[in-house]
């Protein structure tokens, strides 16, 4: 009985041993060299959804039109003294627009100005980045940056032409975000 138990145990060990190679790397010989095939199993990962997240901050966007000051008539020179041409002005940073990218993708921010109906206002943007003041600003991805150091660009809007004769809306600035 004891012999039968020992035989059964040894048989079981042999069977288990023979099954192990099925789970391990294949081992073969080539000119006496042992070759081991290393297997890898691929498990599909998850792709992070593309989320656009940008901060947009702007100044009061309040502009003042100072109409022409004709000055004073000088009867000796027959000319006007102290003439001041009309001009547009605004408070410091009232015309500032800042865009900060917190997205996991680079984005392009484009600024355009559309004059209000019934006005002849024209405007343009001066950017702090880029080579041309075309209103187009590229922002790198926020991946690899800290929240405080997220890619950021600033542009200033200025009225370049046109006049008003009463208080009112000058137009609308549109910021278009395109993920790259």
Partner 1 sequence: MNNQKKLTAAIVLLSVLLVLVLLVTVWALFFRKQTVLPPDYPPRDTDSHMKPIPDDGGGTIETPEGGGAVNITYAAEVTISLSDKTAHLYYANPSRSNQNVAIAVTVGETVILRSGLITPGNMVTELPLLEGVEQKLVPGGYEAELIIYCYHPESGEKAMIDTRGALTLTVVDSIS
Q: Footprint of partner 1 on this chain (CB under 8 A)?
A: 49-62, 91, 93-94, 96-98, 100, 102, 169-179
Which H or E run contains 143? none
Alpha carbon distance 95, 156 (integer Å): 5
Q: Which is nearer to partner 1, 57 or 86 (CB)?
A: 57
Neighbours of 159 (CB within 10 A): 23
Q: Which is nearer to partner 1, 98 or 133 (CB)?
A: 98
Alpha carbon distance 102, 144 (integer Å): 11
To partner 1, the closest distance from the beta carbon of 20 in angstroms equals: 45
To partner 1, the closest distance from the beta carbon of 87 in angstroms equals: 20
* The CA-based dihedral angle spanning residues 157, 161, 167, 169, taken in that order and rounded to the nearest 10 degrees: -50
Alpha carbon distance 137, 34 (integer Å): 60
DSSP state of 70: -
Q: Which is nearer to partner 1, 81 or 113 (CB)?
A: 113
Q: Which is nearer to partner 1, 53 or 68 (CB)?
A: 53
């Amino acid at each position: 009985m004891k012999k039968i138990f020992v035989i059964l145990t040894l048989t079981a060990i042999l069977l288990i041993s023979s099954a192990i190679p099925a789970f391990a790397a294949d081992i073969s010989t080539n000119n006496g060299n042992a070759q081991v095939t290393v297997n890898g199993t691929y498990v599909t990962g998850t792709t992070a959804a593309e989320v656009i997240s940008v901060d947009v901050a702007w100044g009061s966007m309040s502009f003042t039109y100072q109409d022409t000051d004709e000055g004073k008539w000088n009867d000796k020179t027959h000319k006007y003294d102290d003439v001041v041409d009309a001009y547009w002005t605004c408070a410091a940073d009232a015309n500032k627009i800042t865009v900060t990218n917190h997205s996991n993708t680079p984005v392009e921010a484009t600024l355009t100005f559309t004059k209000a109906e019934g006005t002849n206002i024209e405007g343009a943007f001066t950017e702090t980045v880029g080579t041309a003041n075309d209103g187009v600003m590229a922002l790198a991805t926020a991946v690899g940056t800290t929240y405080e150091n997220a890619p950021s660009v600033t542009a200033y809007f200025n009225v370049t032409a046109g006049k008003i004769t009463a208080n009112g809306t000058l137009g609308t600035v549109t910021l278009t975000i395109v993920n790259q």
